[in-house]
Structure 1
Amino acid sequence: CNCNPAGVLETFAGCGNAPEGELCECKERVTGRICDKCRPLFWNLQKGNPLGCEDCGCSTAGTVGGIATCDDKTGQCFCKKDVFSRRCNECKDGTYNLQEDNIFGCIGCNCNKGGSVDNVCDKNTGKCRCRPRVTGQRCDQPLKLHYFPTLYQLQYEAEDGRTPQNTAVRFGYDEEVYPGYSWRGYAVFSEIQKEIINDVYIEKPSLYRMIISYHNPGSNTVLGKIKITPDDPSDSEQEVDVHFRPTSGPKLMTVVIVPGDFPVPLVMNPGRWSISIMNNQNLFLILPLNVDLLFHEDSLLVSDVFHDLLSSLSPFWISWQLQESVLSFQNK
């Protein structure tokens, strides 16, 4: 009769002695014509197990549809998307708080990418693993007696700059020309003001990328030049051409040598630097130019990190900022 010895009762005396209509006498948790399969909710058929198979032990909070069945060979239960382990009783990394009424099983940790070591949190409490001097459930709060420098920590307004003759910058403050301008207004380029200089101080030596937010409502591209000059003669002066294309609204632009090139890395060492923005054209157009951010060039500064830093004001990779340097190109 070929009964499976692992699945039949110890008292089984052979096929000839089986009850009428049966071939083999199976253990309590075993089924099949020859007692070779575990019943539903059980797995791991073993000869030494008096019941034949083990309980699946699935956590119904973590299984799809709340079912408690498992693979009868491996014992693997059928887990929800964010749940794992054989019994489906653990949240995957990046999630926590296993709940039966959650179709995914667990909640996302949502750790702050700037303030946390990674996106792994405590599987029960959801507490993220924070960087030094950072605290909070999501690692989005500074420790007591500490603070997060905001994206405006080092802010430079073009109208607060100077001309090459060290005179005050000419600026306008017309809301119709540039709605929502910051501080006192926006600097004005004309035949009598073709260059504006802002003095800045760099604390950390590194490569930098300058990103400019601007708006050119005209129909022609405006050509300008940015010159970065160090006070220290051992450092090198750097100069790049910029192309301010027409836009339908404010737009971010990374400073490049010519259109289509990769962003130019700016080498800046600690010390005082002068950033000069120049335009030699006389145009009948208004070009609000917002010199927005100068980033520390780092492989960790990816798009999702940048978004999280903006939302949380936790600038761990931003070294300094030129904010709201607004320029207007027009005829005298």
Structure 2
Amino acid sequence: MDERSLNEKASEETLISLLQLDPSPIESPLDADGNEKQLGQQPDDGEDAAHSLKSSRTGTSSLGLSGSSSHPAIYYLTRIQRYSSYTFTVFASLHLATTSIFPLATLSVPASESYLLLAREIYQTRLSEPLLVALPLVAHVASGVAIRLLRRSQNLRRYGGATPGNILPMHHRRGTSSSSSKSKHQRIWPPFSWIAASGYVLAAAVGLHAFVNRGLPLAVEGDSANIGLAYVSHGFARHPAISWIAYGGMLAVGCGHMVWGWAKWFGVSQRAGWRAGPPTGNARVDREVKKRRRRVWYAVNGAVVLVTGLWAAGALGVVARGGPARGWVAKVYDGLFDRIPLL
């Protein structure tokens, strides 16, 4: 075999593998007499270095962190956001089982109520409800907002009101001055991903869901002992349009956010996408990267469809079709729904 062809093939494979590596900063090499300069450092230079180190520690301490810590605030906020999602996933798994899997297995709303009451002993006590539901949800959303604000502040501090795009070569800049002004405003803020957007929508939907099923009964009746799957079925029977829209939208957005969020924690979402990314100048490499990214994208979205379908099969296929309640329970439910605006 020709030695030249072997070299070309190895070169292409090496280029493909290099594309999988994350970029890392490269420190500038020392000057030829760099060691001598460090040994014979001038007093002014030493004072400047000490002042710079002191300023760095002061900036960290101003965020409420110890000056001796080597991690910035975003490091801790990212872990708060991550570990709070672990805790909330425990509650979400129990909720999936009681509102979808058991109704789907029994095909009956009354027969599934006992499983819901049993699960409430786990996540609806005075101790477990704040730890498994309220605090993780608030911490997850608050840390996400704080991360965005800190990254915006970093961009302003690093680029002094300019944008990261201003350091790109001229052939990467497009549009008129008005478009560049718009691009400047967008680049100051960190990228707004689909995961982040769906998270904010889901936070509002979960808050509304908690108000209707937990907060309102506590405010009106004093407790939520009478609230169960029959309450949801009654709402679908009395207000079908808004119930289907609200619950269907919450399921779609919620399952998408949770699956893509877990894909992000496992490092899968970073390798998923419909496009190949920045061109490498090698058409074959670009095609291979594009295929790999699309395969991962299909796999993650397939998981989204699977989880959404499983949850909807029991919640919308069984509970939503359970029909209205009867007797005094129906009057209690009607009184609660009458207090909800827009119903």
Q: Is the shorter-chain TM-score for this pair beyond 0.5, marking a shared fold?
A: no
TM-score w.r.t. structure 1 length? 0.21
Q: Which has the higher helix share?
A: 2
TM-score w.r.t. structure 2 length? 0.20
Q: Which has the higher strand share?
A: 1
Greater RCO (Cα-Cα under 8 Å, separation 6 or more): 2
Larger Rg: 1
